[in-house]
A and B are shown apart, each in its own frame.
Chain A
Amino acid sequence: MNSNGAEIVLKTLVNLNVEVIFGYPGGAVLPLYDAIFKQNRIRHILVRHEQAAVHMAEGYARSTGKVGVVLVTSGPGATNTVTGLTDAFMDSIPVLCITGQVPTHLIGTDAFQEADTVGITSSCTKHNYLVKDITELEETLLEAFYVSKSGRPGPVVVDLPKDVQNDHANYNSLKIKRPASYRPLKRPNIGKIKELTEVILNSKKPIIYSGGGVINSGIKASLALRKLVDFLNVPVTTTIMGLGSIQASNPNFLGMLGMHGTYEANMAMYDCDLMICIGARFDDRVTGKIDSFSPKSKKIHIDIDPSSINKNVKVDFPLIGDAGVIMSLLLMDLKSSKIKINKEHLRRWWRRIEQWRKKDSLSFVDSSNTIKPQRVLKELNSAIKDKDAYITTEVGQHQMWAAQFIEFDKPNHWMTSGGLGTMGYGFPAAIGVQVAHPKKTVICIAGEASFLMNIQELSTLKQLNIPVKVFILNNQYLGMVRQWQQIFHGARYAESYSASLPDFCKLASSFGIKGIQIKNPKDIKKSIQEMLEYDGPVVVDVCVEKLENVYPMIPAGGAHNEMKFSDEDSNIAGTKEGMALV
């Protein structure tokens, strides 16, 4: 069947079961928009900034496990996606981004709205393609989609010159084909699984450290993790990306680890004799000072990406493969093993952990005059307990408090920018989540400064009229920056005051969106209910305590056993080397 390039793109996306495209038009994608206009299989969501399109696609992808699809024009449209693509790359999120390009005969001439999209995005994508010949279009799109979602997922760009969109060729309904050079999945080495079984059953103080790879591996992996934890009765902690891989309500869950993780999680990581790392990558926010990272333990590392092994921390037992597959095999092997884990050692280990737990490291001093951000999130958490809610966050203190106080019992319900730490991620991501789950409660926990970074999407939200709730913890500061300035730079608050803030309720209402302000601690419960019960989008401006800090905290450059618990804690400033860290 003869079609033009633009129609081939749409047909191929339909063939791939794509339901929705997040995009923004422009000269170099007019044929594609014409093809969108002429069909009704795929829904197009008009964003207000291309960066937001990528974050929406990320939210869509993370909450469904599907690939998020983006369409933007050449030049500025493409360059505007770079932050989103980098974010998806760092957090291993499958996104297919189709960018328009100037016609092939103008490439390289600095034509109007030409940018070297393949060059610019090659270090922030898993792979990218420039399609110069229409006969390669269908196959390239299929390959790009496959690369994006397979193995360790990531963003892929397909750059499509305008003449190729207008050219004609047959649409062939091809099947997805793996490129010959690309081997995303290694079958796990079964012999190694036996070795792991032995190591695990002979350990005295084991801990599982689970990350975003478990979420990415699919729901089965989270179920396998739960079985593994229950069978062994071992403690488990997660990275910020791994929240939800184990139920927050599981008694073996120690909370998140790392810079703002719980005392018990970090101490157990420090003190363990066996660390079982599954789908996590020993990020510096997690390890703290690398020389003092879990000094006494043997380390197992299960990961799909060989380049994650021994990148930051040398491990003793690496095993490459899909986290879910490996955990299931491991569980079978553990169950059939004649040796059993030593219950007495484990009991002692748990007694130790219970001591650390008693420290109650997430406790905070509440107030009846001002709204404590921790308090308001605890209230929010209990209000959404039975709602199967999806939560996204922006970046800053509110993000850390959300990670500490919102409890996730399921995977794929928590979307935050972990790797890149992108302010402006959470609000568009929430729109993407709500597009995928129109009936569910979707809340973006935001800081006032982050929200301003993609606030134009209020217009998209109003157009869609879907019930995303933006819950702003408004402390009138770039709070996380201010916290570091307080701790490391003598409380010189250079440019970290959120000056000239808008009235968020009036701002929302100017878009036709409901606004609620919470000023008094007494109103928290009632206003949260009002937000949740309102059938439509809401912006909630919570006026929280301005100078509250996130604790516990491992100061940059510190070790897991060097946590600080409050502003009063001495010697929080950390080391000179730590000062150089981000």
Chain B
Amino acid sequence: MNDISTHTLSVIVDNKSGVLGRVVGMFTSRGYNIDSLTVAEVDEDRSLSRITLMVTVTSMVVDQIKAQLERIVPVRKVLDLNDIGDFVNRELILVKVKAKGERRVESLRVADIFRARVIDSSGQSFIFELTGSAEKLDAFINLMKPLGLVEVSRTGAVAILRGAKALYN
């Protein structure tokens, strides 16, 4: 029973008011934890939104989560990307570093190694933008901490299958 692992779910929903609330409400009312959640409209013509959810649970629980999500009327499709095949998973982060002198130079060097972009700078601060896997972003944050990291904003993961196959159309 101890087959706990992290699943990335793509949930295609009607972009109507309150749908995100229903999805999140299901997790709250049934006591499941969400690791990460992102949502945005992905098909304006048909008014579809895509929710990417990450959960760390047993396979029995992930099946239950999928079935419970499918019961929600405006939910069109629920896919566990881990079941379907290889997928890429990306997150975007904005990191504000406040530093002078040597630490300021060092933060630029670390950013360069990670290929983070400087999107704002002042006499005593930088804002870096970086995309990548959660692990990569975590590593970046850890290196920036001693260099004057003061604030982080993260999107949570989005994910998509590799190859030509489309999940919905």
- Chain A residues with a Cβ under 8 A of chain B: 118-119, 122-123, 126-127, 130, 147, 179-183, 305-307, 309-311, 314
> Are B73 and A307 neighbours in the complex by a CB distance under 8 Å?
no
> Are A123 and B29 neighbours in the complex by a CB distance under 8 Å?
yes
B68 at the binding interface (Cβ < 8 Å):
yes
* Alpha-carbon gap, A492 to B74, bound state (A): 50
Contact partners of B74 in chain A: CB under 8 A: 179, 181
Interface size for B (C-beta < 8 A) is: 20
Contact partners of A181 in chain B: CB under 8 A: 13-14, 73-76
- Given known pairs A126-B73, A127-B73, A181-B73, the reply for A314 and B64 (CB within 8 Å) is no
Say what secondary structure dominates the interface of chain A.
loop
Q: Please provide the 6 A-B residue pairs with the shortest distance between their CB atoms, ordered closest to farther.
A: A307-B67, A127-B73, A181-B76, A306-B67, A307-B68, A182-B73
- Chain B residues with a Cβ under 8 A of chain A: 13-14, 17-18, 21-22, 25, 29, 60, 63-64, 67-68, 70-76
* Alpha-carbon gap, A122 to B63, bound state (A): 22
Say what secondary structure dominates the interface of chain B.
helix
User: B22's closest neighbor in chain A, by CB?
Assistant: A122
| Chain B proximity of A133: nearest CB distance (Å) | 12
> Are A180 and B76 neighbours in the complex by a CB distance under 8 Å?
yes
Other than the known A122-B18, A182-B73, A310-B63, what 18 A-B pairs have Cβ atoms closer than 8 Å?
Answer: A119-B21, A122-B21, A122-B22, A123-B25, A123-B29, A126-B71, A126-B73, A127-B73, A130-B17, A130-B18, A147-B73, A179-B73, A179-B74, A181-B14, A181-B74, A181-B76, A305-B67, A307-B64
| Chain B proximity of A314: nearest CB distance (Å) | 7
Contact partners of B13 in chain A: CB under 8 A: 181
* Alpha-carbon gap, A314 to B74, bound state (A): 28
| The one of B25, B67, B71 that contacts A309, using a Cβ cutoff of 8 Å | B67
| Chain A proximity of B99: nearest CB distance (Å) | 44
* Alpha-carbon gap, A503 to B63, bound state (A): 54
Contact partners of B14 in chain A: CB under 8 A: 180-181
Contact partners of A183 in chain B: CB under 8 A: 70
User: B73's closest neighbor in chain A, by CB?
Assistant: A127
User: B69's closest neighbor in chain A, by CB?
Assistant: A307
Contact partners of B68 in chain A: CB under 8 A: 307
Contact partners of A127 in chain B: CB under 8 A: 72-73
Contact partners of A314 in chain B: CB under 8 A: 60
* Alpha-carbon gap, A147 to B21, bound state (A): 19
User: B68's closest neighbor in chain A, by CB?
Assistant: A307
